[in-house]
Amino acid sequence: MWKTAESVAKEFVRAINRHDVEAMAELMAPRHRFVDSMGQVVEGRESVRVAWGGYFRMVPDYSISVEEIFSKGPVVLMVGVAKGTYTADGWLREENGWKTPAAFRASIKDGKVAEWRVYADNEPMRQRMRTGK
């Protein structure tokens, strides 16, 4: 069954919101590339899988809500909000919660996410990291 670029991107977002790293990895191209909002790059499906696992331990309730989707060929741009609660010790404290506008750009190749790029203001998260527990 052939999937559209938009349907693959939406499926990837659902896997992120479930924190299902294995489903995310299954949707990634072998040479998957992740680019965060600071421009840092992680390359390769396994390296990115490990990075997401670490992120979900640091922000165990991380989620993305998509408000608008724009798609053209293999590129899908999603605009919405990212939110979560930073934790250094596994305890979710309300004061360590954050929410920020975000955009996500997915490049799809052969039904897999070849690149996932995040555009968001990291300052709300950095503030929680500086002051949170």
Condensed to tens digits (0 to 9), the pLDDT of residues 65-108 reads 999 999 999 999 999 999 999 998 888 888 889 999 999 999 99
- Are the CB atoms for 81 and 63 separated by under 8 Å? no
Domains and CATH numbers, the chain: 5-131 (3.10.450.50)
Tokens representing residue 14 in the block: 């659902």
Condensed to tens digits (0 to 9), the pLDDT of residues 2-32 reads 689 999 999 999 999 999 999 999 999 999 9
Give, as one character, the DSSP assignment of residue 111.
T
* Residue 90, Ramachandran bin (φ over 0: left; ψ between -120 and 50: alpha; else beta): left
One-letter amino acid at 25 equals A
Q: What pTM, to 2 d.p., does this model score?
A: 0.91
Residues with Cβ < 8 Å from 121, sequence gap 6 or more?
37, 100, 101
pLDDT at residue 127 tops 80: no
What is the pLDDT, as a whole number, of residue 96?
87
